[in-house]
Amino acid sequence: MERTPKALIVLTWLTSAVFVVALYLVLIWAPQEAIMGDVQRVFYFHVAAGWVGALAFLVTAIAGGIYLARGEQRWDRIAVASVEIGIIFTFINIVTGSIWARPIWNTWWTWDPRLVTATIMLLIYIAYIMLRQGIEDPDRRARFGAVYGIVGFISVPLTFLSIRIFRTIHPIVVGSSDPTAAGAFNMTADMRVAFFFSLFTFTLIYITLLWHRLRLQQLMEKIEERKLTALSS
């Protein structure tokens, strides 16, 4: 394995710095929400984590499609790396949402479309990992991963739609004016800055983690190959 590229080191430090700034913005700089109090501050990273989760799974589906079309291994590497990060952030998204819901909706869990869809999405990608673990042949593993990544990703909006037909109580903070959703609030200008900065920060974290994870995957594949040749010789 070659040394860590300079660009990646710089990116990692930059991301860390940006993350600290984002923490400052959401925890201290942004004003306290007038009704919900401090727990509303969870919202910034909650939405950002959800965004990264969805982005990661989209990347997996696209990388899988390109892999099937071209058969180049690097696209499969991107797909796996992205799934793992997506699982981590979707998990954060669900748990923080639940923590927020406890004081605001007075329950840890409701069967709201977004909650359920996020959870099913998480299960789909855990299944994706299990599918890959069950297959030894690397080429087949990559193909099956790509197929399931695409099938799973397509089913997510349908799942959301199907549960959406029930009434939702999840607040839509961005681009909605439904005042009846419990826990809805209007963002002040400062809040909006913190919100968009969080989105930016998490996207940056995603890219940095993806890069590191890709290098890990490369090393894993190299070692796997060398082990096989060592065993066969």
Binding site for another protein (CB under 8 A): 1, 27, 32-42, 45-46, 49, 68, 85, 88, 91-92, 95-96, 99-100, 102-104, 120, 123-124, 127, 130-131, 133-136, 140, 143-144, 146-148, 150-152, 154-155, 158-159, 161-163, 165, 205, 209, 212-213, 216, 219-220, 223, 226-227, 230, 233
Spatial CA neighbour of 187 closest among 171, 174, 200, 170 = 174
- In angstroms, rounded to a whole number, what is the distance separating the alpha carbons of residues 134 and 148? 13
Between 47 and 175, whose beta carbon lies closer to another protein? 47
CB of 193 to another protein, least distance (A): 19
In the complex, what is the shortest distance from the CB of residue 47 to another protein, in angstroms, rounded to a whole number? 12
Is 102 or 175 the residue whose CB approaches another protein more closely? 102
For residues 101 and 175, which CB has a smaller minimum distance to another protein in the complex? 101
**Cβ closer to another protein: 135 or 193?**
135
Nearest CA among 128, 59, 117 for reference residue 90: 117
Distance in Å, CB of 120 to another protein, minimum: 5
Pick between residue 170 and residue 212 the one whose CB is nearest to another protein.
212
Tokens 């997510």 appear where?
156
Nearest distance, CB of residue 174 and another protein, angstroms: 19
Q: Which residue in the block uniquely carries the two structure tokens 């990264």?
A: 52
User: Residue 79: which of 26, 16, 144 has the closest Cα?
Assistant: 144
User: What residue has token string 């799974």?
Assistant: 57
User: What minimum distance in Å lies between the beta carbon of 192 and another protein?
Assistant: 19
Nearest to 201 by CA among 14, 6, 56, 7: 14
Q: Are 160 and 54 in contact (CB under 8 A)?
A: no
Q: Quick count: other Cβ atoms within 10 Å of Cβ 164?
A: 15
